[in-house]
Structure 1
Amino acid sequence: MIIKLTSKNFDKAINKAITILKNGGIIAYPTETFYGLGVKYDIDSALRRLYEIKNRPTEKTMPLIIGSKDELSLITDTITSSAIELMDRFWPGPLTILFRARHGLSEYIVSENKVAVRIPGESFALRLAMAAKFPITSTSANISGMPPADSASMVFNYFGENIDLIIDGGKTKGGLSSTIVDITDNTLKIIRHGAIHI
């Protein structure tokens, strides 16, 4: 299913996406850079299916987006002072932060006891995360090793009917991916240089 976004159906598209996520489906949605693939963070079968359609190595965990810092309690029990400083300065925006993972999270979103998350910049992705009130995966909409999709048609060419819902927000602007930092021990380590310079 493809929903072409308009000002009139924006809320309906959000609600449809959330329903599909809660039912274990996979959605594709526009972010502030490229299209992302989303499943609900705690549905293992959906996470496994997402890995399969992307042909993504299981050792490469999926990053998450959230709509509010309040949702961090769902995925971590430890928020350092450095993390608070970075969040206050760069969120919403293209900064992904690694936190100590809360016990019991899926292996598909945890690596070395860490989970990666951000609040996205102004985009459909941000509005979706704010409305959902739970973490959503935000892995790039592509087959592993292929260019990230910047249009709904490119997403469909990659995945066809394997995606339960594609939100067509037009061509995204592309650009650099998010910067990834690890501050789990209160010391800043840059894991990937990206759109934000720290």
Structure 2
Amino acid sequence: MLKDEIAKALKIIQEGGIILYPTDTIWGIGCDATNTEAIQKIYKLKQRAESKSMIILLDTDAKLPSYIREVPELAYNLIEYAEKPLTLVMPGARNISPALIAVDGSVGIRVAKHPFCEGLIQRLRKPLVSTSANISGSPSPQYFSQIEQEIIDGVDYVVDIDQHSKEIKTPSTIMRLEADGKFEFIRR
């Protein structure tokens, strides 16, 4: 089942589509982080200003240097020891669509600890875009049945995993981490 869902989602993403999928936090809308056209589809679906950047997911922190020019040493410790999912916003973003890079050159990255995400990112060999599965300004859904029909109808594929789970999920902690190791919490 997991393998089949990864294969179906991978095909859609490789064809430039967008998917609705479970993560280690809340349900997300995602696509290939190097495909600007697909990213713009997500902005349009969410009715979100393109100035509000979205994050990318990786399957392992070993891939951080591929997408961040200078990874602060502290980043690895934070990821390893964080008790709940942690998104790090770091400067020096590279090798992803310019549509994901904030004006200051930063991007938010989370190492996803979810079997579907890990498997999909490994097979895709690129980061996966992740943004909450809601229209901009609406509350983030805590589980699948709270996702608005407009979102479900607007994606190219809905992953058939965890849809019946009522486990309440919350968004990740977000921390800005500078190249020199200075950090601040954006969302706890």
Asked if Structure 1 and Structure 2 have the same fold, meaning a TM-score greater than 0.5 normalized by the shorter chain, the answer is yes
Paired residue type of 1:72: L
* Greater mean alpha carbon deviation, residues 72-81 or residues 34-43: 72-81
SS at match of 2:99: coil
User: Deviation string for 1:70-108 (max 9, x for gaps)?
Assistant: 3223311211121122122228x5100112233464332
Q: 1:33 aligns with which of 18, 25, 47?
A: 25
SS at match of 2:11: helix
Paired residue type of 1:29: Y
Structure 1 residues 188 and 156: alpha-carbon distance in aligned structure 2, compared to 1, 3 A threshold:
closer
Structure 1 residues 156 and 19: alpha-carbon distance in aligned structure 2, compared to 1, 3 A threshold:
farther
Aligned residues between the structures: 184
Contiguous gaps of at least 5 residues in structure 1: 1-8, 194-198
Paired residue type of 1:96: T
User: Structure 1 CA distance, aligned partners of 2:42 and 2:129?
Assistant: 10
Task: Say if 2:186 is the partner of 1:191.
Answer: yes
In structure 2, the partner of 1:108 is 99
How high is the sequence identity, in percent, across the aligned residues? 27
In structure 1, the partner of 2:86 is 95
The alignment's TM-score, normalised by the length of structure 1, stands at 0.82
In structure 2, the partner of 1:57 is 49
Paired residue type of 2:173: T
Paired residue type of 1:17: A
Contiguous gaps of at least 5 residues in structure 2: none
SS at match of 2:89: strand
Structure 1 residues 152 and 177: alpha-carbon distance in aligned structure 2, compared to 1, 3 A threshold:
closer
User: Structure 1 CA distance, aligned partners of 2:183 and 2:145?
Assistant: 39
User: Deviation string for 1:18-44 (max 9, x for gaps)?
Assistant: 121121100000123321001100100
SS at match of 1:138: strand
* Greater mean alpha carbon deviation, residues 78-87 or residues 95-104: 95-104
1:50-89 → structure 2 map (5 Å cutoff): 50-89=42-81
RMSD: 2.1
Structure 1 residues 23 and 73: alpha-carbon distance in aligned structure 2, compared to 1, 3 A threshold:
farther
In structure 2, the partner of 1:179 is 173
Contact kept in structure 2, 1:55 and 1:143, CA below 8 Å:
yes
* Greater mean alpha carbon deviation, residues 131-140 or residues 120-129: 120-129
The alignment's TM-score, normalised by the length of structure 2, stands at 0.86
